[in-house]
Amino acid sequence: MGMDRGAREDALVALAQATAREQCGAGSGARGKEGSGTMRLDSILQSLRREALGLRSDNGGGQDLAKLDSATGNGHTLRARAPSTVPTVDFLDSRTMPNALRRIILCFLDLRALARASCVSTDWRKLVCRPSADWIWHQEFKRLHGSSTFMRNLEMYGKTWRGLCLLQEQSKLGWRNGTVEKREFSGHKDRVRHVRIRQDTVVSASWDRTLRMIDLSEEKNLDEAQQPSVLKKVASHGGSVFGVWFDGRVAVTCSEDCTIKIWYVHEDNKKMELRGHTTPVYRVVMMSSEVLVSCAKDFVGVWHWPSCTLSKRLVGHRHDVHRIQVSDSLIVTGSYDTTVRVWLYPSLIVAWASDRVHTGGVSSLHFMGDILATGSARGEIFIWELSTGILKHKIESSYHDDKTISCIMVSGKRVITSSNLDNRSNYGYVCIWDAVMGTLVNRFQEPFYINALRTDFGFIFCACSDGVMRIRNPTDDFEVLSEFRHGMSNLYDVDVQGQHAVTCGLDGKVVVWTVKGVDTDIS
């Protein structure tokens, strides 16, 4: 888990002190007239803090992102005369401190401040924009992105973290203020329960036993009359498709027919089938380029999917396992036996298993860092310390009382929950909880129940039972930014990536929503 800002500042100060002492010690004779090393260190740190605050506090930098790509630099300083309250020392001067420390300092700046920093001088621009500094943008992306849907495959997408930051900023502005185009696709014969979009490819899984797809990139140069409106059939199962995982190239489906199928969606004849489960398979997820994990009633399966081999059966749950999440080193499962289990990878031993603390089956789970949140079919919310299994908070809210927690997400130090049915009405609730204190931060009530939600760009995208996708801003009393009508029937799922959102529902249709005017060629 990444350090919080206080810990990062302590680390930075310690490194700055060590660097300054080293430099002052090496050059004490030459700099004797300039004062002591302590004074010089104080000057550097004060400059850092004040300059960073100055960059962050200017809300009028709307053109800074454009400057980041358009500024060419000619070796001269581009910065205006500094205010008298800000020291004029250039604390990022290559003659003042080494590149490694300069880059650590830049990790304190947000997206707009980084853009402004690139316009200060050619030296700063090189420091911010050179390929070796892409990890600075990676830290900013992880800190501010806050997405429940984004999956990045650098080899496939070919974008740097800097390019992704700029693309996401454009998309965020577009979803708030831009023009959104609606495109509707048919082809399924029954309700569509799951939909995913990665890059420009959409896949949908239905109770009609099929997986279908559409490649939006193939239509960019076609006239509107030539653009297809029917989803292409990729493959079919012998029963309803219960789950889908997709990374833009490989789609994995699991089904009522007890099988798992792997499809290379852009290669018609390349597919695989995994057999081993004897009960319907509810969820499937890729851990790596070779490892896949599935969950069902009979066991949790770990597969070496290139060879179609079941490597390990993870047993211990006593009922259907409907929820699963993985990281590079963990597999977390939630079952309708009311328990949670955490398995270590690659040893596949149980790190910890909860008691039957939930009174209903585990209907949702999500972890980020060391925070694990689980929700039950009885409306309970539990917050755990993932590394130890310690139960930190048990939340029994009147807003979710006896209602299934349909979605739960951890975002930083917050937990977002939604319940999909009120026994006394059709209302649904979304609540935001403080994961540290276990207290309610904010909530909103939808006039219809919520089947799915996603977080992206700091917004919440809700798929509602009245057939509308609503985008809300959780930092502004859950203001409704936009409403987009999919149709008149129940929405089951929503997914978001960049300038695209996609919805599906009871009517068997898939709708793609696209923000116009987003430059997708940023690298």
pLDDT, tens digit, 9 for 90 and up, residues 187-227:
999 999 999 998 789 999 999 999 999 988 876 655 666 56
Res 365: pLDDT: 95
Question: What's the average model confidence in pLDDT over 413-431?
Answer: 75
For strand 300-304 and strand 309-314, is the pairing parallel, antiparallel, or unpaired? antiparallel
pLDDT band at residue 6, thresholds of 50, 70 and 90? low
Arithmetic mean of pLDDT over the chain: 78
Query: Is the model's pLDDT at 520 over the cut of 70?
Result: no
The one-character DSSP state at 502 is E
Nearest to 152 by CA among 142, 144, 143: 142
The stretch 25-46 carries a mean pLDDT of 42
Separation CA 213–CA 197 (nearest Å): 10
SS (H, E, C) 118-149: CCCCHHHHHHHHCHHHHHHHHHHHHHHCCCCC
Residue 213 to residue 324: CA distance in whole angstroms:
24
Task: Give the C-alpha separation, 243 to 252, whole Å.
Answer: 8
Q: What is the pLDDT of residue 521?
A: 58
Q: Answer whether 72's CB lies under 8 Å from 119's CB.
A: no
The residue that leads in pLDDT, 258 or 521, is 258
Q: Which of 27-36, 234-243, 415-424 has the lowest mean pLDDT?
A: 27-36
pLDDT class of 22 with cuts at 50, 70, 90: very low
Tokens 């597969």 locate to 303
Q: Which of 221, 285, 208 is nearest to 254 (CA)?
A: 285
Query: pLDDT value at position 216?
Result: 87
For 222-241, what is each residue's pLDDT tens digit? 566 656 788 988 889 999 99
In the chain, where the domains are located: 5-144
Within 8 A by CB and 6+ apart from 362, the residues are 322, 323, 334, 335, 336, 338, 339, 340, 374, 375, 376
Whether residue 418 is predicted with pLDDT greater than 50 in this model: the reply is yes
Question: Residues of the chain with pLDDT > 90: what percent?
Answer: 40
The pLDDT of residue 226: 59
How large a percentage of the chain has pLDDT more than 70? 72
Q: Strands of 317-427 (E only): list them.
A: 321-326, 330-335, 340-344, 350-353, 362-368, 371-376, 380-385, 390-396, 405-411, 414-419
Give pLDDT, residue 27.
41
2 vs 266 pLDDT, higher one: 266
User: Quick one: pLDDT band at residue 62, thresholds 50, 70, 90?
Assistant: very low
Nearest 10 degrees: Cα torsion 34, 37, 41, 43: -20
Region 143-166: mean pLDDT is 60
Integer angstrom CA distances of residue 383 from 340, 344, 358, 374: 12, 20, 12, 7
CB atoms within 10 A of CB 288: 10
Split at pLDDT 50, 70, 90, the class of 12 is very low
The secondary structure of 160-209 as a DSSP string is -HHHHHHHHHHHHHHHHHS-EEEEEEB--SS-EEEEEEETTEEEEEETTS
Is 80 exceeded by the pLDDT of residue 51?
no
Beta bridge partners of 184: 511
501/3: higher pLDDT: 501
The predicted model gives 300-323 an average pLDDT of: 95
Residue type, 344: L
Going through 277-338 in order, the beta strands assigned E by DSSP cover 281-286, 291-296, 300-304, 309-314, 321-326, 330-335
pLDDT the model gives residue 26 = 42
Question: 255 vs 35, 49, 289, 305, 506, CA distance in Å?
Answer: 73, 55, 22, 17, 18
| pLDDT of res. 248 | 86
- With a cut of 70, say whether residue 422 has pLDDT above it: no
pTM of the full predicted structure?
0.74
Task: Strands of 428-490 (E only): list them.
Answer: 428-434, 440-446, 450-456, 459-464, 468-473, 479-485
Count CA atoms closer than 13 A to 76's CA, side-chain side.
3
> What span, in angstroms and rounded, lies between the C-alpha atoms of 123 and 146?
31
pLDDT number for residue 13 = 47
Q: Is the pLDDT of residue 3 over 50?
A: no
101 pLDDT above the threshold of 80: no
- 352 near 389, Cβ under 8 Å? yes
Position with higher pLDDT, 83 vs 504: 504
β partners of residue 407: 418
Mean pLDDT of 17-23: 45
431 with 442: CB under 8 angstroms? yes
Mean pLDDT of 401-410: 84
Of 47-56, 423-432, 479-488, which gets the smallest average pLDDT?
Answer: 47-56
pLDDT at 38: 40
Higher pLDDT, 152 or 412: 412
Q: How far apart are CA 491 and CA 484, in angstroms?
A: 12
Distance CA 403, CA 390 (A): 25
**Entry field: residues in the chain:** 523
Query: Letter for the amino acid at 352?
Result: W
